[in-house]
């Protein structure tokens, strides 16, 4: 058990949205938590709002948690968008069915659950070879002070590190690099050197600094402008606002704005983020829809690592294969 004195709370500045009246900076909390079976302490951002909003019970979040903890040789069948799960099987079993029998299985699921014939049923393989909440907590602990120093909500450091490149320096097919997956042009605009000889995106501290600057100078102001022009008030420490910032970080303001034009919101809230999960516009597609879902799911998985929460229920039964 952690001693009471170690439950010290660190004050971190948050910033009010432009659409609210000017006010003193608000504060939210960091807490010191030990890893299970370890005496080392680390700073993590509290995840209380996820539970308060009931997001831990949302099918999309439960789906991603299941996928994140499954090995790549197994997978789940789910509904596109809503992510209701209908069963699990090995990748070998799925491949052995072949396209015709895979489609028959999809049809049997639609019939069993009373779904429309156009409902898309997807098979998604496990991704525990990529996602590793426990393995990235040390990086979170290093990034939090950098974000705080830059006056940026450390929630973003935690969320991005958990899903972009967990514990490893990776390069995406699109060219993004480093723990915070910055594109070359973005990294340069934030002051990093990226050329044939030097790529400072590989430097964790410099990458964290650039990511925090990007959020502070680009993502947050652009979100505030989007919300202001729609007359939407907000609180920068609310979970829905933070999720919106994450979507801009990933997809870009123009694509998020295009999605908002489809939704046409007049108020804010988690309902708006949930609408984004099923909205397509411009280049705001499947990966963009999933972004905040992945972040929330990984934060809950981090709670499991820290011993805070029990693992959620997964698909209740194995998918029933069609007759051979």
pLDDT (tens digit per residue) in 261-278: 999 999 999 999 999 999
> In sequence order, which residues have a C-beta less than 8 Å from that of residue 111 and are 6 or more positions away?
none
| DSSP designation for 195 | S
| DSSP designation for 53 | T
Task: Identify the residue with better confidence: 136 or 21.
Answer: 136
Return mean pLDDT, the chain. 84
Among 248, 244, 247, 197, CA closest to 218: 248
How confident is residue 184, by pLDDT bands cut at 50, 70 and 90? very high
Domains of the chain: 71-125 (no CATH), 132-300 (1.10.530.10)
How confident is residue 46, by pLDDT bands cut at 50, 70 and 90? confident
Answer whether residue 20 shows pLDDT above 50. Answer: no
Among 201, 212, 139, 208, CA closest to 170: 201
Among 164, 284, 281, CA closest to 214: 164
How confident is residue 37, by pLDDT bands cut at 50, 70 and 90? low
pTM of the complete model: 0.85
């Amino acid at each position: 058990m952690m001693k009471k004195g170690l439950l010290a709370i660190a004050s971190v500045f948050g910033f009010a949205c432009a659409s609210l009246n000017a006010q003193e900076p608000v504060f939210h909390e960091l807490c010191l938590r030990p890893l299970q079976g370890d005496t080392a302490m680390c700073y993590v951002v509290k995840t209380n709002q996820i539970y308060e909003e009931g997001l831990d019970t949302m099918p999309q979040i439960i789906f991603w948690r299941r996928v994140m903890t499954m090995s790549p040789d197994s997978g789940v069948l789910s509904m596109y968008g809503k992510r209701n799960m209908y069963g699990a099987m090995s990748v070998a079993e799925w491949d052995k069915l072949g396209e015709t029998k895979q489609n028959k299985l999809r049809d049997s699921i639609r019939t069993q659950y009373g779904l429309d014939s156009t409902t898309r049923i997807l098979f998604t393989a496990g991704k525990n070879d990529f996602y590793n909440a426990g393995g990235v907590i040390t990086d979170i602990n290093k990034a939090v002070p950098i974000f705080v120093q830059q006056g940026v909500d450390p929630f973003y450091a935690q969320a991005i590190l958990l899903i972009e490149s967990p514990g490893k320096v990776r390069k995406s097919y699109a060219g993004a690099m480093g723990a915070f997956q910055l594109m070359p042009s973005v990294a340069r605009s934030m002051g990093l050197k990226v050329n044939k000889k030097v790529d400072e995106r590989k430097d964790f501290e410099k990458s964290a600094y650039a990511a925090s600057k990007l959020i502070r100078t680009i993502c947050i102001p652009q979100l505030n402008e989007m919300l202001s022009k729609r007359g939407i008030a907000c609180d920068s420490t609310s979970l829905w606002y933070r999720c919106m910032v994450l979507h801009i970080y990933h997809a870009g303001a123009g694509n998020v704005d295009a999605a908002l034009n489809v939704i046409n919101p007049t108020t804010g809230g988690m309902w708006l983020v949930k609408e984004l999960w099923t909205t397509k516009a411009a280049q705001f597609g499947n990966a963009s829809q999933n972004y905040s879902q992945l972040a929330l799911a990984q934060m809950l998985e981090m709670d499991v690592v820290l011993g805070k929460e029990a693992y959620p229920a997964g698909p209740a039964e194995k998918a029933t294969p069609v007759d051979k």
